[in-house]
Amino acid sequence: MTGWSPPTLSREQRAGIIVGLLAVVAYSVLIVGQLLLVLFPAAVVVVVYLIWRFVRAVEAIADAQQRRAADSDE
């Protein structure tokens, strides 16, 4: 087993995302009066997070392949 673990968001990043989404929820409910308005920003956050996780996973796979290639050359 390697010491690699999946990437995680820092506490500050999670807090920022939550505060941002809560601000959007408050705006959509109190100002505009449409609860469904919050779905688009929430979906954007989820999609960006999934893309970020995918890129980090591909980078980890590439690093592992490079390590294997370097080990086999020795």
For residues 23 and 3, which has the higher predicted lDDT (pLDDT)?
23
CA distances from 26 to 1, 15, 31, 32, 63 (A): 45, 16, 8, 9, 43
Q: In the chain, helix, strand, coil percent, each to 5?
A: 80, 0, 20
For residues 8 and 62, which has the higher predicted lDDT (pLDDT)?
62
**66 near 60, Cβ under 8 Å?**
no
Q: What pLDDT, on the 0 to 100 scale, is given for residue 32?
A: 80
Q: What pLDDT, on the 0 to 100 scale, is given for residue 70?
A: 87
Residue 1 pLDDT greater than 60, yes or no: no
Dihedral angle, C-alpha 44, 46, 52, 53, nearest 10 °? -160
Residue 50 pLDDT greater than 80, yes or no: yes
Q: Which domain holds residue 40?
A: 11-73
Number of folded domains in the chain?
A: 1
For residues 37 and 63, which has the higher predicted lDDT (pLDDT)?
63
